[in-house]
A and B are shown apart, each in its own frame.
Chain A
Amino acid sequence: GAVVSQHPSWVICKSGTSVKIECRSLDFQATTMFWYRQFPKQSLMLMATSNEGSKATYEQGVEKDKFLINHASLTLSTLTVTSAHPEDSSFYICGGLRELYGYTFGSGTRLTVV
């Protein structure tokens, strides 16, 4: 079946540094990738929608300069958390959209900013 590979699965970084999370669709082309953030014991909140070759569309309240999303190819989308702060610590999940099938999600990235 379709697989989205998300890396890293967990990362610890210092405040002020940037962290890049990659999502690759391994056996399908994801023209659209969705990025979600999940707080402890809470649901998934959509951060942004990225389409291959165009700028990402951010949800209200999400800082686009802080959460940089790049969707350079049909199989790769990246989320970069810039100048990370402890409040950015969270679980981030990407989902690649397969037409007619729906989402295939990555395994998630646990980000801890210290």
Chain B
Amino acid sequence: AQSVAQPEDQVNVAEGNPLTVKCTYSVSGNPYLFWYVQYPNRGLQFLLKYITGDNLVKGSYGFEAEFNKSQTSFHLKKPSALVSDSALYFCAVRDIGTYKYIFGTGTRLKVLA
């Protein structure tokens, strides 16, 4: 079965510092991987996805993610964090056969001024 894991419940980073939110996956076959962000009482906003191609994927709001097949990881990164980046981040994998998305447990990012 497809799954994703987000090992950190919360990540704290100082404003201006680089941030990393971790995600590892387990799939059979080639993975379709996604990152979403959720602000309080709001739906999910798409950040980026990896389907195929370059391992470094650039997305919205200056975020990027690196697909690493050998480590089965898809970590979300940003070179310089903003206070406004504080939110809940979800990694997801798409089930190839059904289009269902399986979400990780989420990581709360807190950027400190």
Contacts and interface: CB of A to CB of B under 8 A. Distances in A.
B3 to A, nearest CB: 11
A44 interface: yes
Contacts of A91: 41
Contact of A42 (B34, B45, B100, B105): B105
A102 B100 contact: no
Nearest to B94: A102
A110 interface: yes
Interface string B73-95: 00000000000000000100010
Contacts of B102: 46
DSSP class of B's interface residues: helix, strand, loop or mixed? strand
Interface residues of B, number: 20
B44 A105 contact: yes
Interface of B: 34, 36, 41-46, 49, 90, 94, 98-106
A9 B106 CA distance: 22
Contacts, number: 49
Given A43-B106, A102-B94, A108-B41, 18 more contacts: A4-B43, A9-B41, A10-B41, A34-B100, A34-B101, A43-B103, A43-B105, A46-B102, A49-B98, A49-B100, A95-B101, A97-B99, A103-B44, A103-B46, A105-B44, A105-B45, A107-B43, A108-B42
A104 B46 contact: yes
Contacts of A49: 98, 100
B103 to A, nearest CB: 5
A70 interface: no
A25 interface: no
Contacts of A108: 41-43
Given A42-B105, A43-B90, A102-B49, A32 B99 contact: yes
